[in-house]
Amino acid sequence: MAKLSLFARRRRRVRTALRARAGGKPRLSVHRTGRHIYAQIIDDAAGRTVAAASTLGATASGANVDAAAQVGKAIAEAAKQAGVTTVVFDRGGFLFHGRVKALADAARAGGLEF
C-alpha cells in the first residue's frame, strides 16, 4: 500500500468517524480549491446527491470567506427544498477554519442542523 499524504490520511480519518456517528443521516460534504468552494448533501444509503451548491453558480464568485458563506446559505435552502433538515458535516481533509468554517456557520444559520 502506498504511503498516503497528510491530506488523504486526515480525509480517511474524518470519513471513518462520520460513518460511526452518521446514523443514516445525509452527509454535507465540502470541497475547496484555490478558485472555488463546493458543497453537496449526499445520501450515502441511496448513493445519490440530494442537493448541491458552489461558487460556480451565479450566487457567488471567488473563493473567499464571503463567497463560502453564500454557498452555505444556498446549500441550506437547497436542503430545505429537498426535505433535509439534519446532516453530518464532512469537512474532508480540510481544516475547520476560514472558508470551511464560514460555509458551516452559514448553513447552520440557514436552518441545517449538525
* pLDDT tens, the chain, 114 aa long: 689 999 999 999 999 999 888 888 999 999 999 999 999 999 988 999 999 999 997 666 778 999 999 999 999 999 999 999 999 999 999 999 999 999 999 999 999 999
How is the chain split into domains, by residue range? 27-109
Retrieve residue 52's grid coordinates: 448541491
27-109 folds as Nucleotidyltransferase; domain 5 (3.30.420)
How far apart (Å, rounded) are the C-alpha atoms in residues 38 and 58? 13
> Are the C-beta atoms of 82 and 14 separated by less than 8 Å?
no
Q: Which residues contact 32 (CB under 8 A, 6 or more apart)?
A: 38, 63, 68, 94, 99, 100
Based on DSSP, count helices (H) and strands (E) in the chain, helices before strands. Answer: 3, 4
